[in-house]
Amino acid sequence: MTTEPPRPHLVIVGAGPAGLAAALAAAGGGVRVTLVDAAEAPGGQYHRQPAAGLGARRPQALHHQWRTWRRLRDGLARQVAAGHVTHLPDHHVWCVERHPEGPRRFTVHALLGPAQELPVEVRADAVLLATGGYEKVLPFPGWTLPGVVTAGGAQAMLKGSLVVPGRTAVVAGTGPLLLPVATGLAAAGVTVAALVESADPKALARRTGALVGRADKLAEGAGYAVELLRRRVRTLVRHTVVEAHGEDRLEAVTVAALDAEGHVRPGTGRRIPCDTLAVGHGMLPHTDLAETLGCRVEPTGTRVWADDEQRTDVPGVWAAGETTGIGGAALSLAEGHIAGRSAAARLLGRVPDPGEWARAAKSRAALREFFGVLDTVYVPPARWTEQVTDATVVCRCEEVTAGAVREAVGELGAGDVRTVKLLTRAGMGWCQGRMCGPAVAGIAGCAQTVARRPFARPVPLGVLARAGRPPEPGEEDGSP
């Protein structure tokens, strides 16, 4: 009697569009898959769903590509029921460990439970990183007032909790995300007093070459614009928020026009009453796990390098979605499918056939070109630091002001972000510089460098002490 060897085991970190597409592709390719995600339900930010207990009657009203989401959701359910995929929700991955020898070359370390103190270790033959991205917010006077939220945070409240952050909102910053946030809030009954975009979307007209093949994206943007017009939302382009006002919470914002060089034009300021400011200045990828594994990351920290199969330069590690560069859900789906197919073939000892993902590769190329154009248009104002007063808090965790950062550079001779951190404690708090890093670098006039952190999130010392020990009875190993 012969015993079949165990199927190769792939662990996918992240259950957003890229992770879900990768899980379905890899499971369909014949490998065992464990899908590890910090959220309680799959979908990521793009497909965030309201909790079942809220009784949402029409959750699709808050979402685009609902049919795509249903296909992913139902496909995952079928693969889980068949025993091909194990889904581990509410598992917060803090480290992926590489082993030089052994049948399982990787250990994925995660925290489980309400307090995130229960350690879980999952052994795997390969790892696929689909960890998504997070918002970049640049500081301005008053940005720490209650009522100032990130644009994505306002969207998450609406999608996940069916609540709105306030009654009268201003949506501001730069980037395509502002459009669905403004229309979503308006549709939910919020009075959107203004949409304030620092870039000039008309610049897209000069880049028609990359836009011709993406009529769907142009139509989506036009749809948002029409909806804003229908709801009489005032749109201010080449404008920026220069200050948020209020005593105990936000009461109003001052916005002003920008000149061609990114300076605020004198005499153009106007005060807009509001109780909510949803602000964002683009997105950044989560690269912590990739950095810990030694994967190549662009010096600016804007993407993890991956080849045509979505393989990183570390053997056994794939990456897909926002991790390899911000590009939206459609690009994430294409990259996830390619990564899952490639990983399954490689783990089974086969040379992958690119024909299996030819359609996804074509979509990936077109979308990368499209979002490359958007990246050149939707950028923060070049002179944004001029509006940041010395009293403005830059690092919220450690309450470090812009004045302290400028003093570290001008009087104490700091010439890089690391030295600024040592002199001011900016970036030493809970977020470890993830939120304040771009702002500190901008105010200091230093290049922002990739920070290789040993852990992707805070970890209890007790968990570290137990890491690497043989698993106790009942601990998970990722087996379906």
| Same structural domain, 29 and 151 | no
| Same structural domain, 266 and 300 | no
Please report how many Cα atoms fall inside a 13 Å half-sphere around the Cα of residue 3, on the Cβ side. Answer: 2
Please report how many Cα atoms fall inside a 13 Å half-sphere around the Cα of residue 274, on the Cβ side. Answer: 30
Alpha-carbon gap, residue 400 to 459, rounded angstroms: 24
Q: Report mean pLDDT in 10-residue bins for the chain, 480 residues.
A: 71 98 97 96 88 71 81 96 96 92 87 84 96 94 97 92 93 95 94 96 71 73 90 95 97 97 95 98 94 90 94 97 94 98 97 94 93 90 94 95 96 92 93 89 86 80 76 50
Task: Flag whether 421 is in a domain.
Answer: yes
Task: Flag whether 309 is in a domain.
Answer: yes
DSSP β-ladder status, 168-173 and 191-197:
parallel
- List the structure tokens of 230: 């229908």
| Same structural domain, 141 and 224 | yes
Give the residue numbers spanning the domain of 410. Answer: 388-444
| Same structural domain, 142 and 272 | yes
Q: Tell me, what CATH number does 416's domain have?
A: 1.10.10.1100
Task: Flag whether 195 is in a domain.
Answer: yes
Task: Flag whether 472 is in a domain.
Answer: no
Which residue carries 């600016």 as its tokens? 300
- The reported pLDDT for the residue numbered 289 is 95
User: Residue 205 CA to chain centroid, in angstroms?
Assistant: 27
| Same structural domain, 275 and 224 | yes
| Same structural domain, 255 and 311 | no
Alpha-carbon gap, residue 460 to 109, rounded angstroms: 13
| Same structural domain, 238 and 196 | yes
- The reported pLDDT for the residue numbered 209 is 65
Q: Which of 281, 299, 321 is the last residue of a domain?
A: 281
Task: Flag whether 382 is in a domain.
Answer: no
| Same structural domain, 161 and 225 | yes
Question: How much is the pTM?
Answer: 0.92
Alpha-carbon gap, residue 302 to 45, rounded angstroms: 19
Q: Tell me, what CATH number does 188's domain have?
A: 3.50.50.60
- The reported pLDDT for the residue numbered 114 is 73
Task: Flag whether 474 is in a domain.
Answer: no
| Same structural domain, 122 and 55 | yes
Task: Flag whether 106 is in a domain.
Answer: yes
Task: Flag whether 361 is in a domain.
Answer: no
Q: Which of 265, 281, 297 is the last residue of a domain?
A: 281
Alpha-carbon gap, residue 397 to 415, rounded angstroms: 22
Q: Count of domains in the chain? A: 3
Q: How far is CA 304 from CA 35, 104, 129, 312, 401, in A?
A: 20, 24, 10, 8, 31
